[in-house]
Chain A
Amino acid sequence: MAITDLSRRRFTQLAGLTGAAALAGLGLPDAAEAAEQAPVDPEFPVSGRGRKLEAAYDPNTDEIKVNDEVIVRYSNCVGCYAMCGVRLKLDRDSREILAQGGNPYNPCNAYPVLPFDEPLTEAYRTMTQSPTKQTGAATCCGRSLGALDVYLNSYRITTPLKRAGKRGEGKWEPISWDQLIEETVEGGKLFAHLGEDREIEGFRAVRDFDTPLVPDAPEFGSKANGLIYCGGRTDGRGQTSTRFLSMYGSSNKYSHHSSCYGAKGVYPYQSGDGDDLGIDAENNEYAIWMGTFPGANGGSVMSDLKRVAATIENKQAKIVVFDPNLGNGVVTPAQDNAVWYPIKPATNSALTMGMIRWIIDNEKYNEGFMCAPNLPQAIKLGFNACTNATHLVIVDEAHPNYRHMMHPEDAGLTPSSAENAFEDQYVCIDAATQQPAVSLDCDKGLMEWEGEVNGVKVRTAYLFLKDSANEHTIEEYSEICGVPVDVIEEVASEFVAHGTKSSVNGAGGVTSANGTDATSCYSTLAGLTGAICMKGSIIATFVGVTGPGNGERYLLSKAEGMPKDKPDARVDRTGFAWEDTSEYKRRTAAGEKDPKPLLPWYPGGVGTSDNQMVLSLANGYPHKAKILLTWQCNPIKATPGAQREEVMAAFKDPDIIPLAICSDVVEGTFAHMADYIVPDTMYREHFGISQHAAWWPHKGNFLQWPMVEPKSMKLDDGRHASFDVYLCDVGRKLGLPGYGDEALLSATGEKLPFNDACDYYVKALANVAYEDGVIEDLSDEEIRMQALDTLPEAWKKAVTPEEWSKVQRLLSRGCRTWPEADTWDDQGRQTYAGAYMVNFYSEERGSVRNHYTGKFYEGALGWHAETFSDGTPIADVYSREEYPFGAASHKPYFRCVTMLSDSALLRELSPHNYLEINIEDARELGIKDGDTVQAINPSGDVMEGVAMLRGGTARGNIGISFGYTQDAYGSTDLTVGDETVPGNPAINTGVQLCQMLDPQVGEGAIFAFSDPEASTPGRNGGMFKLVVPTA
């Protein structure tokens, strides 16, 4: 906390009077009152404690009077990854940060949202007691303010550092910016002065398109792919790294993806051009939150929270939350409409199958919706999505397309010429004619049909779901997940009763070893009733305009000479089949029968996997890196089970990673193990633009921008050091396309320079300002209110004068939103939704074999217990009697995933986390509140912590607040040159969730157990026993 001089708060003018009055001993209250009311600035009085006021409000006239000495700016928060807005209150002269709060224009901070066109005085009004304010005070959360504490008070790296000892020793020498660029680009014997003789290849040497990265394995592409990059949640800055990696020519680009919820949305539906689905909490009547807690989740916390809290309070909606942990969210006392049901970790799909079983047995699904064989037909029926319930799946083992969907060609039918929102065409049985038909040309199909079409054995996709549901009784499902039968039935019946005003979704609950099923739960349920992309149901999110891409004013994703070749396989082993690898072919050619890889391969469509990249490099398989470039991330910590000695040793091993560069502001895990640290800007200091990430049905973009001058090193040319500037300078030095003086294209064909983040992002802002309606200029009055006329010249020069004033308007609101009335059509369809088709049977899933067993995966949602990579249930390898617990993590308000342990404010509120144990489980084991206990997994990892007994933890669950402990990050000594910043062990206190290793993978491999289909970590679930240490 900033230590302020106490004397500053004295009533200096009246001290003498007060002293005399004190001596007299009489009339003190009046004199003190007079002191209270005789302020330094009569217009905006501030006396005693309290910062300068941003405005004053007169209740008699309902007028706002803005204080000229204070400016209020709006941007976005990156205190966690919910991408909420933020408001900074600054002293106009000193630019000291006086306060932080929310952005009323941003749907994450306000509900109702202040419309984009409302003047700034209306934003001020929300901070007053005025009864005419359009929305309540716009807020950020406590964690956001913890991030402010970090920003103001914690140690920060602001200059380039080169390691002066071994990796992980915490010894650094400060170097110049030029030396940083020179050495990382050109390489050489960079550490000869430390006695290291290795010749290190820099960016230039690695960017070699002629040499293969892995000899005799062309699937991995050229050597340029040896540049392996990992970033964290970029929150709108993603293009900074994406552009560089594309122009450089490496496809090994990873970010906060599958380690979080990479399984999400992959298999369960196809979408023509849509993205993630979320809950429409503004309009729903009933919602099932499964594995994510409104008000305490990893997603759009604040936006969910406000809408759910409001609709519970006004009784519009009732919600149920299934979660192994009762989080700090909306399930509170003295309200009837939100209830928590404990559930065992990693059993969401059992719960869902129980519900589906009830719905099917009682025929409560919407048959009309499900029988619509194509999207236009479903729309005609009043819906906004369709399913493949009626589509035929080939079950003929002899057929080359076995376990794929039947296409017209397979059925001997002519493909339809009708417009198709999806890539392929399918076949169904026409309900009217009882004959096979191309689904696009059919009005109604049959849901339950199996037989032969054109000599090919087929059955409808719906039957796969039905059969899957019938594998167990509802009582069995209940036993598995721990949710009582009557609850399963009641929730199922409520869900269907509210039709398209029912929502269901989740987030963190899909990161489990059976996460692929978990993620399929939501759309499958919604697919039974049509509750998709309708008002009140699950809705498409991330709806906004492009911004940093090819937009109206600038074509920011194009550059002449961009490398085109992309390798088929990447180091993360996803998106490519084991059987297609050169290794497999070589080994089979050598006579090996059914060779197995060291680590699993994931041919499924998960995208990229940061956690698998970590495990790959930890084992040096399928190949090693040439350069590891990381940016404000920690996928090791984010992969439970990966934080162990062997993994850390691998990352410190120059044989696996010859050159490690990390851009960050704190010496986190990756910086700690790097050769070079590139100082970056922190949020409040940098640009970023993205579509809105809230579970919010409307259209909007949010933006980050430097509201204050960056504190990172100022270079000679006036730019502030940042990852953006580093990549610009490296790009320029390498002569990469898309960097240098003619890097950025305008829509009119001009080629413009790219030297700093502003060159790129201010242009991206111009794109946002002009797309889907051009916004107005910002008035001079409002420019002055936020001191937007004092912004750096470089920003203004990045765009045309006409564009600049509109960019200023965007900056002044911190986001852009489109009118909410445009979101729904007159039948309640979400106009922004892309085309969605729920896959009751997913051919992407069902046509993939597990390369250990040769067995195909199921194509439909079903209950499958957690397995290891080879499909063996974990409970078959280790004993559930011995290891009866599973674990589930949850998000606290006092840390964030991999950051914020360096906030003294947050540490005071929460010095460490606990092992949260159900109160009845604990009593059975003789564990008392506050005891030191150990949770031990079958690999022998011990998590020792303090027990907290809770009624708010499910039986059989160990709850752990995620984000505590750090292996560096200020907890260890940091030596820069001669100066040592002593480590603060308080930063490392607590318990880190540690999942077991997968014993079924290759000999000697270190592999944290993961979902065999989607590659996502087995974060929730696993097996543990609880032990009270005797020593």
Chain B
Amino acid sequence: MQRAETKSGKRPFMLVDVSLCIGCHACVNACKFENELEIKQFNTWIETWDAGEYPNVVRANVPHLCNHCDDAPCLAVCPTGATYRNDDGLILVDQEKCIGCKYCMAACPFSVRWQNDAGEVEKCTFCVNRTSAGLLPACAGNCPTHARLFGDLNDPNSEVAKKVAELGAESMLPELGIGTNTCYVGLAETNALPKSSSVLHGGRVAVKLEEMGA
């Protein structure tokens, strides 16, 4: 994979294998506890639906989280510089500078940002505290099927590098070409299947069957 260099030479990377995700929400809830998030605050969530035409149906589960894009639209539009990129390439938010204009929220094509009680905008940080100390982030550290793998893509011995070498990596919304650091295995194949149910967030209908697609 040809990627731009990060300052530290590391590239923290999350690989999500959609064929392994079962929608158990261990990741979503672990993140909630690790980051002490409240109602309506999600750094990550899962979209679930029935894919395929009856009776040849499978259950699709696609986790969403911040992609820490190389060419991050949020970074480009933040007027105060509260959103910044650290040496490892992670996109982070300095809460002290954020005025809550929400421009980044409008710019993010993945809708991963949210506003906290004070009005500042937050999002997934790849658990920067944990991962910069060599630990797994809360989500990948709680995935029962290891659908989520996390590691340094630039280290050929890491789980992610090995799996990417074997199976490749797809971005969500690849047409944007913004170089995501959260990639998927099996996403395009999943999205190519027709949907035969509404799209759920967890157990709640988020997009009804009739509302979907043109």
User: How far is A743 from B133 in the complex, measured between Cα atoms in Å?
Assistant: 52
Interface presence of A551 (CB below 8 A): no
| Contacting pair B25 A919 (CB below 8 A) | no
Instruction: Choose the segment among A44-52, A811-819, A991-999 that binds chain B (4+ C-beta atoms closer than 8 Å).
Output: A44-52
Contact of B94 among A32, A49, A951 (CB under 8 A): A32
Given A6-B118, A50-B35; A335-B84 close (CB under 8 Å): no
Interface presence of A145 (CB below 8 A): yes
Q: What is the 8 Å Cβ interface bit string for chain B, positions 41-83, against chain A (1 contact, 0 not)?
A: 0000000101111110111110000000000000000001100
Interface presence of A56 (CB below 8 A): yes
User: How far is A946 from B85 in the complex, measured between Cα atoms in Å?
Assistant: 45
| Contacting pair B129 A909 (CB below 8 A) | no
- Nearest chain A CB to B184 CB, angstrom units: 9
Interface presence of A424 (CB below 8 A): no
- What total of chain B residues lie within 8 Å of the partner, measured CB to CB? 91
Interface presence of A574 (CB below 8 A): no
Given A48-B125, A333-B18, A333-B193; A951-B53 close (CB under 8 Å): yes
Residues of B102-155 at the interface with A, using a CB-CB cut-off of 8 Å, are 116-118, 122, 125, 127-136, 138, 140-146, 150-152, 155
User: How far is A28 from B208 in the complex, measured between Cα atoms in Å?
Assistant: 44
A interface bracket (residues with beta carbon within 8 Å of B): 35 or more
Given A36-B86, A55-B135; A29-B60 close (CB under 8 Å): no
Across-interface contacts of A327 in B (CB, < 8 A): 59
| Contacting pair A18 B53 (CB below 8 A) | no
- Nearest chain B CB to A151 CB, angstrom units: 11
Interface presence of B196 (CB below 8 A): yes
Interface presence of B29 (CB below 8 A): yes
Closest to B187 in A: A334
Across-interface contacts of B136 in A (CB, < 8 A): 127-129, 137
| Contacting pair A48 B58 (CB below 8 A) | no
Interface presence of B24 (CB below 8 A): yes
Interface presence of B30 (CB below 8 A): yes
Residues of B165-214 at the interface with A, using a CB-CB cut-off of 8 Å, are 185-186, 189-190, 193, 196-198, 201-205, 208-210
Given A335-B19, A893-B25; A44-B133 close (CB under 8 Å): yes
Across-interface contacts of B127 in A (CB, < 8 A): 50
User: How far is A434 from B150 in the complex, measured between Cα atoms in Å?
Assistant: 67
Given A45-B129, A145-B26, A892-B203; A332-B34 close (CB under 8 Å): no
Which one of A46, A51, A341 has the greatest number of beta carbons of chain B within 10 Å?
A51
Across-interface contacts of B34 in A (CB, < 8 A): 49-51, 99
- Nearest chain B CB to A1018 CB, angstrom units: 25
Interface presence of A930 (CB below 8 A): yes
Given A11-B96, A893-B23; A333-B186 close (CB under 8 Å): yes
| Contacting pair B24 A142 (CB below 8 A) | yes
Closest to B140 in A: A137
Which one of B81, B97, B122, B145 has the greatest number of beta carbons of chain A within 10 Å?
B145
Closest to A895 in B: B203
Across-interface contacts of B196 in A (CB, < 8 A): 919, 949-952
Interface presence of A939 (CB below 8 A): no
Interface presence of A877 (CB below 8 A): no
Given A33-B86, A948-B197; A28-B97 close (CB under 8 Å): yes
| Contacting pair B22 A1 (CB below 8 A) | no
Interface presence of B157 (CB below 8 A): yes
Contact of A139 among B23, B122, B144 (CB under 8 A): B144
Residues of A84-102 at the interface with B, using a CB-CB cut-off of 8 Å, are 99-102
Interface presence of A141 (CB below 8 A): yes
| Contacting pair B30 A99 (CB below 8 A) | yes
User: How far is A894 from B133 in the complex, measured between Cα atoms in Å?
Assistant: 32
- Nearest chain B CB to A330 CB, angstrom units: 6
Instruction: Choose the segment among A305-313, A454-462, A695-703, A857-865 that binds chain B (4+ C-beta atoms closer than 8 Å).
Output: A305-313
Which one of B23, B26, B131, B140 has the greatest number of beta carbons of chain A within 10 Å?
B26
- Nearest chain A CB to B145 CB, angstrom units: 4
| Contacting pair B133 A53 (CB below 8 A) | yes
Closest to B85 in A: A29
| Contacting pair B210 A928 (CB below 8 A) | yes
| Contacting pair A952 B33 (CB below 8 A) | no
Across-interface contacts of B189 in A (CB, < 8 A): 333-334
User: How far is A4 from B41 in the complex, measured between Cα atoms in Å?
Assistant: 14
User: How far is A334 from B135 in the complex, measured between Cα atoms in Å?
Assistant: 29
User: How far is A489 from B198 in the complex, measured between Cα atoms in Å?
Assistant: 33
| Contacting pair B129 A305 (CB below 8 A) | no
Closest to A100 in B: B33
Interface presence of A130 (CB below 8 A): yes
| Contacting pair A49 B24 (CB below 8 A) | no
| Contacting pair B129 A48 (CB below 8 A) | yes
Across-interface contacts of A57 in B (CB, < 8 A): 133-135
Given A36-B92, A45-B129, A334-B190; A56-B134 close (CB under 8 Å): yes
User: How far is A954 from B56 in the complex, measured between Cα atoms in Å?
Assistant: 11
Closest to A3 in B: B38
User: How far is A231 from B4 in the complex, measured between Cα atoms in Å?
Assistant: 61
| Contacting pair A332 B95 (CB below 8 A) | no
Closest to A53 in B: B133
10 A-B contacts (beta carbon < 8 Å):
A10-B95, A36-B92, A56-B134, A129-B134, A141-B25, A142-B29, A327-B59, A328-B22, A908-B202, A955-B54
A-B pairs, top 8 by smallest CB distance, nearest first, are: A910-B203, A951-B196, A142-B25, A334-B186, A57-B134, A909-B202, A145-B29, A952-B50
Across-interface contacts of A11 in B (CB, < 8 A): 96
| Contacting pair B198 A137 (CB below 8 A) | no
| Contacting pair A50 B130 (CB below 8 A) | yes
User: How far is A488 from B141 in the complex, measured between Cα atoms in Å?
Assistant: 40
- Nearest chain A CB to B108 CB, angstrom units: 18
Which one of B20, B34, B157 has the greatest number of beta carbons of chain A within 10 Å?
B20
Residues of A11-28 at the interface with B, using a CB-CB cut-off of 8 Å, are 11, 15, 18-19, 22, 28
Contact of B198 among A48, A141, A342, A948 (CB under 8 A): A948
User: How far is A130 from B210 in the complex, measured between Cα atoms in Å?
Assistant: 46
Contact of A909 among B130, B151, B201 (CB under 8 A): B201
Interface presence of A144 (CB below 8 A): yes
- Nearest chain B CB to A318 CB, angstrom units: 14
Interface presence of A58 (CB below 8 A): yes
Residues of B1-35 at the interface with A, using a CB-CB cut-off of 8 Å, are 18-30, 32-35
Across-interface contacts of B159 in A (CB, < 8 A): 129, 131
Given A10-B96, A131-B159, A892-B203; A909-B135 close (CB under 8 Å): no
Q: A129-B158, A137-B146 are known contacts; what are 20 more A-B pairs with Cβ within 8 Å?
A: A1-B32, A28-B81, A29-B85, A36-B92, A45-B129, A45-B133, A47-B129, A49-B36, A101-B141, A128-B135, A131-B159, A141-B26, A142-B25, A145-B32, A295-B22, A332-B19, A333-B19, A929-B197, A929-B210, A951-B50
- Nearest chain B CB to A852 CB, angstrom units: 38
User: How far is A55 from B133 in the complex, measured between Cα atoms in Å?
Assistant: 8
Across-interface contacts of B152 in A (CB, < 8 A): 59, 129
User: How far is A951 from B159 in the complex, measured between Cα atoms in Å?
Assistant: 35
Across-interface contacts of B18 in A (CB, < 8 A): 332-334
Across-interface contacts of B204 in A (CB, < 8 A): 909-911
Q: What is the 8 Å Cβ interface bit string for chain A, positions 291-323, against chain B (1 contact, 0 not)?
A: 000011000001001100110010000000000
Across-interface contacts of B101 in A (CB, < 8 A): none
Closest to A110 in B: B144
User: How far is A334 from B131 in the complex, measured between Cα atoms in Å?
Assistant: 29
- Nearest chain A CB to B6 CB, angstrom units: 13
- Nearest chain A CB to B168 CB, angstrom units: 12
User: How far is A11 from B8 in the complex, measured between Cα atoms in Å?
Assistant: 23
Across-interface contacts of B32 in A (CB, < 8 A): 1, 145, 905
Closest to A894 in B: B203
Residues of A39-94 at the interface with B, using a CB-CB cut-off of 8 Å, are 44-51, 53-59
Which one of A19, A32, A149, A905 has the greatest number of beta carbons of chain B within 10 Å?
A32
| Contacting pair A56 B33 (CB below 8 A) | no
Given A50-B129, A333-B58; A137-B142 close (CB under 8 Å): yes
User: How far is A144 from B54 in the complex, measured between Cα atoms in Å?
Assistant: 32
Which one of A2, A137, A928 has the greatest number of beta carbons of chain B within 10 Å?
A137
Residues of A141-198 at the interface with B, using a CB-CB cut-off of 8 Å, are 141-146, 148-149
